[in-house]
């Protein structure tokens, strides 16, 4: 059985989408891939000539993340409506941005929910890491 995860995209206090990963959702897999992709990103309102590692708002960043991970055809990654939970996830990653445009990543772990049967509710999941992506990456390189 795969290690399922959800990646939740937040725009301020509003959840805008959820990406479900069917397998390899563990922090050593999905978490590291997500951190590596997000490292150096800035979330802005409008953009200039430099379009590398820039997202024009959280909706743009969410779309870029989906594009990055959805490399193959059917399966593996799915988009769900904001608020979706209880998909058998063992990990929940929350992606957001600060007012200065720095990308923030939070990872929570819990018991698998077995597709709607009781598992860990997100509010009771312990946090494995929580902070600006570039700070997490700098710690990993030190």
> For 73-132, what is each residue's pLDDT tens digit?
899 999 999 999 988 899 999 999 999 999 999 999 977 655 555 566 788 888 999 999
The pTM (predicted TM-score) of the whole model is 0.88
Can you name the residues that pair with 19 across neighbouring β-strands?
7, 79
In the chain the first and final C-alpha atoms are separated, in Å, by: 34
CA distance 72 to 49: 30
Cα radius of gyration rounded to whole Å, the chain: 15
Q: How far apart are CA 24 and CA 3, in angstroms?
A: 5
Whether the CB-CB separation of 107 and 139 falls below 8 Å is answered with no
Distance CA 111, CA 54 (A): 35
Question: Structurally, how many domains does the chain consist of?
Answer: 1
Residue-number span of the structural domain to which 116 is assigned = 5-141
Q: What is the pLDDT of residues 3-49, one digit of tens each?
A: 999 999 999 999 999 999 999 999 999 999 999 999 999 999 987 77
């Amino acid at each position: 059985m795969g290690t399922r995860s959800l990646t939740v995209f937040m725009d301020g206090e509003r959840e805008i989408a959820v990406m479900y990963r069917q397998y390899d959702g563990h922090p050593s897999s999905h978490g590291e891939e997500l951190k590596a992709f997000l490292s150096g990103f800035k979330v802005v309102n409008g953009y200039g000539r430099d379009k590398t590692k820039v997202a024009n708002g959280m909706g743009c960043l969410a779309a870029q993340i989906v594009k990055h991970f959805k490399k193959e055809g059917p399966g593996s990654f799915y988009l769900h409506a904001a608020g979706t939970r209880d998909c058998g996830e063992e990990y929940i990653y929350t992606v957001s941005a600060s007012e200065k445009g720095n990308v923030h990543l939070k990872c929570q772990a819990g018991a698998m929910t077995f597709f709607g049967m009781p598992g860990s509710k997100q509010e009771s999941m312990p946090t494995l890491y929580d902070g600006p992506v570039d700070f997490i990456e700098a710690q990993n390189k030190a």
